Structure 1
Amino acid sequence: MANLHRRKVLQSPLCSNCNKARETVHHALWECDHVLGCWGHRFKKLRSPEQSMGSFADLVFSARQQDKNMELFMVVAWMIWTRRNKRHFNEQQLPPEKILEAETALLTKFHENSVGRSERKLTQTQRWVPPAAGMYKVNYDGACFVDEEKAGIGVVVRNDRGQVMGSLAEKIEMPPTVEVLEAMAARRAMIFMEELGLRHAVFEGDSEIVVKALVGLYPD
């Protein structure tokens, strides 16, 4: 909310739940009175007076130091954020006191489905594959820095021998969705190739939706 207020999308930066404080990520997930019940008593050590946390990154660090159940911690945070978004768009959501129960059930089901998979195939490290002779390969990606309410774009251009011909890293305002961020990264990669004066390139990104949209498989 605070970020959208700075961009003049919203009139108020205050939390949409309590309407008392600026809605930073840390406030929305941890400090707001309306989410206290979502955490239950499982993480009460993190609320001791000795703890001094000014950001959600500080909270995650403290949780890793003090609590072994980081899996549950991250699922709780994710479900609180999902609940916050549903509330914002007037969609049905779980009451705060039911959140922890739902998260525990979700993790239990996940682990039950994982039973019997002890002989999992090791995931092969994805290796960079060179383009055809005389071509360039452009790898692009986007990253979200939630605590800073910023996003980042990275681009690397290599020739068919794997030599880096150019690279860039830029911070931008947080876009509304990950797909939009990936699309912006793809666009920046194309512009970067123009700036380098290079032609005959193949572009490679992580988002299947964006890639299909660029090649025309998604008309919309």
Structure 2
Amino acid sequence: MEGNYDESKVTMAAIIAWAIWSNRNEVCNGGRVVHGSGRWTTRYLKEYYAANEQLAIVPTAQITNWIPPPTNRYKINVDGVVFKSQKIAGVGVMVRDCCGQVIAALSKKINVPLGPLETEAKAVEVGVQFARDIGIQDCIIEGDSLTIYTALYGNTSPPSTVAVVVSSIKVLCGAIRGVEFSHTQRQCNRPAHLLAK
């Protein structure tokens, strides 16, 4: 049905119908009849809206700043970008120490038309390889793809499109003394993203 309608009246009608149906079922199962369903539904809706307004204004704590690694470790942020029109991908890698100082950075073009998930996986692979190449032995590889992160930790099976790359990353990690993986919000991974672009 097209046209203007009052959403609050439609909501009220649906709640009243639900209340009548619910009470009818209760009576059929030996319960008692509830009179005044209109007043009850009005009170129910007011409580519902009040609860949802309170939930909407509760601030959610999100980490919006990059967090440095512990002393004597390095954090390697990685990210990937897809350039659909050019049918290529780019990866960025930023290596920083416990003081947040940039130790090394890498920007690399991949001349293959990869999808977003495949590009994120390649970014991690390039980051681990880069860590090996510059001699880092204790590091945290951090990216913003939760799918890749959970696959590397073994919490989930990797999607088939990245399973080979995830296996390759695990093999590369065998040559580094201490490697951890970390998931971060996209805004905390901005320097690696800019390198990838």
TM-score normalised per structure 1: 0.43
Structure with greater proportional strand content = 2
TM-score normalised per structure 2: 0.48
